[in-house]
Structure 1
Amino acid sequence: MKKSIKVFAPATVANVVCGYDVLGFAVNQPGDEVIMSLTDGKGITISKITGDDGKLPLNPTKNTVSASVQHYLNHIGKPDLGVEIELHKKMPIGSGLGSSSASTVAGLFAINTLMGNLLTNKELVPFAMKGEELACGYGHADNVAPALMGGFVLIRSYQPLDIISLPFPEEMHAAIVYPEVDVPTKDARQMIRSKVLLKDAVTQWGNVAGLVSGLFMKDYDLIGRSMTDILVEPTRSILIPDFYKLRTIAMKAGAVGFGISGSGPSVFALTKDADTANKITEKLKQHLKNISINSLSFVSEVNKRGPIILD
């Protein structure tokens, strides 16, 4: 049995505008890395975390990676297995790009590989959801499912968990810009209304169905006109500087659709090609610079692989 492994897991765009907690897709960059080793000791230890500016806990009961791995080990009947974890954050925390998800998924993929792949990546999703529960108080799957399975996913149901991989246009790209402002996921979730009007729910259902249909049909026009959110975006957009100006810039530059990635502050545009995505990120970054906000940008096709072994 292999004793050590290094794994990369990708960032994700969750919600995809209208699909709050039920839609998400993986991207090639950024992402996180985990180095995991089996030891002769008992229990999980976190020996090192880099790239987090000291924000993440080394306590294995409070870190999403180790907590999820512990749930997995309990499930396979090896609760006291000696495991040492190094976590290397290669993406910003609180970016709306599934930072906790990427770390958790890398850890679960690593331990499952070291154990001889006892479960499929899809079967690892419930364990990854435990990490999300620890991170933001609610075990949603719209980040961890695409990070584990790759591609574009729909969570049709949470009880019982029912996850569907969706087709999508092969040439589709995401233009992602992260304005460097602080939007904690837990706070962003608490801002959302707990009750909605039936007429608003009907509009949202129609948009989710339209987006899924557009992906199946590879119909960019249908995808674009379905990327409208009347339930969550009006509240969360308040936390993102010049959100509606950024949308106007992206759409004028050729975006198919535009919205908030996860809980924000990252925003994303779907495009028909990489050139348009690159053009959009440059224009958005320039606008943010003009209002004295630093930003990071990423351009990626939809990641079909999910987590990968680096060595």
Structure 2
Amino acid sequence: MKEKDCVRVFAPATSANFICGYDILGLALEDPGDEITLRKVDSPGIKITKITGDLGLLPLDPEKNTVSASIKMVLDHLRIKNIGLEIELFKKMPIGSGLGSSAASTIAGLFAINQLLGAPLTKQELLPFALKGEELACGHGHADNVAPSLLGGITLIHSYSPLHVINLPVPKKLCCSIIFPHVEVPTRAARKILKTQTELKNAVSQWGNIAGLVTGLFTEDYNLISSSLKDYIIEPTRSFLIPEFEEMRNIAIKSGALGFGISGSGPSVVAFTQGIEKAKEITKMLKQHLGKKSIESNGYSSAINTQGAVEL
């Protein structure tokens, strides 16, 4: 693949944990996501010339921005110096939503510079840089967001040392409804409240659900997927941070959702469905419910994105 002078890429939002798979499972969404335009210029150095959709929250300083920091890591690894780059970042997803906003920006930057340089690295080879970028953004280098955003589909983090990420099968009709209530649940704060110990019976139930979910994905057994989408460990601690959580769960399940839970560290919630029309129906109902409670929200209905980061 030849080097290019300009590329535009898309990196999808993600929903980490898949309800029962805390820190080891994640999936990519078709909507929303981030876009980046990266172009070569004559003047050496990395510049961020434009950021849109961030409400002024993200720094234009390339030393402090996840996108430029990720690009610099790849350039250093490839020993490329004195190159001139200009970045335009188009945030098309909410920040601090539990949808992997920082991961999407990181992946967009990594994938863009790799494409610009003629794709010297595979997506798998970009993953370690993605972990470092996520660590810069959130303080933790977890792969459950960056892996699906980069690789697409549903990913399982088998190990970190060595890093081993597995793409799991995606059932054809599996879709999801995502609701982002406009309340703040910072990722670091959401991690701090988690218990460091759990009862053995809860751990056993959780392990069974993870195994059942993975089996359901391989066999495209929606009943097994549904019965496995329960979280006995993380959700009981975090759900109280999200307004109307139990009420939204009851609405989603009664309306035919396969399962309902927290997306990432929240405050977004996710309902998994069999088919996009059911996802749209549940998204509408949940938004209407929050509206009656005077809570603003964003709603998304999406199939599972099996491509991950792509050049537009």
TM-score by length of 1: 0.96
Structure 1 CA distance, aligned partners of 2:229 and 2:81? 44
Give yes or no for the alignment of 1:49 onto 2:45: no
- Contact 1:8–1:106 (8 Å) recurs in 2: yes
Structure 2 CA distance, aligned partners of 1:191 and 1:259? 17
Give yes or no for the alignment of 1:298 onto 2:291: no
Q: Which ranges of structure 2 fall in alignment gaps of 5 or more residues?
A: none
Q: Could you report, residue by residue, the CA deviation over 1:34-66 in whole angstroms, capped at 9, with x for unpaired residues?
A: 111122333322121111111111222221111
Give yes or no for the alignment of 1:212 onto 2:214: yes
Structure 1 CA distance, aligned partners of 2:107 and 2:96? 17
Give yes or no for the alignment of 1:6 onto 2:14: no
Tell me the SS of whatever aligns to 1:116: coil
Determine the structure 1 residue equivalent to 2:155: 153
The percent identity for this pair of structures is 58
- Aligned-residue offset at 1:81: 2.8
- Aligned-residue offset at 1:79: 4.7
Determine the structure 1 residue equivalent to 2:146: 144
Structure 2 CA distance, aligned partners of 1:168 and 1:47? 38
- Aligned-residue offset at 1:80: 4.4
Q: Could you report, residue by residue, the CA deviation over 1:249-291 in whole angstroms, capped at 9, with x for unpaired residues?
A: 0000000111111111111111111111111111111110111
Determine the structure 2 residue equivalent to 1:276: 278
Structure 1 CA distance, aligned partners of 2:182 and 2:118? 40
TM-score by length of 2: 0.96
Q: Could you report, residue by residue, the CA deviation over 1:200-219 in whole angstroms, capped at 9, with x for unpaired residues?
A: 32222111111111111111
CA root-mean-square deviation: 1.2
Tell me the SS of whatever aligns to 2:143: coil
Count the aligned residue pairs.
310
Q: Stretches of 4+ moved more than 6 A in 1? A: none
Task: Give the counterpart letter for 1:244 in structure 2.
Answer: E
Determine the structure 2 residue equivalent to 1:289: 291
Determine the structure 1 residue equivalent to 2:186: 184
Q: Which ranges of structure 1 fall in alignment gaps of 5 or more residues?
A: none
- Aligned-residue offset at 1:164: 0.4
- Aligned-residue offset at 1:185: 1.5
Task: Give the counterpart letter for 1:230 in structure 2.
Answer: Y
Structure 2 CA distance, aligned partners of 1:276 and 1:301? 11
- Contact 1:67–1:130 (8 Å) recurs in 2: no
Task: Give the counterpart letter for 1:73 in structure 2.
Answer: L
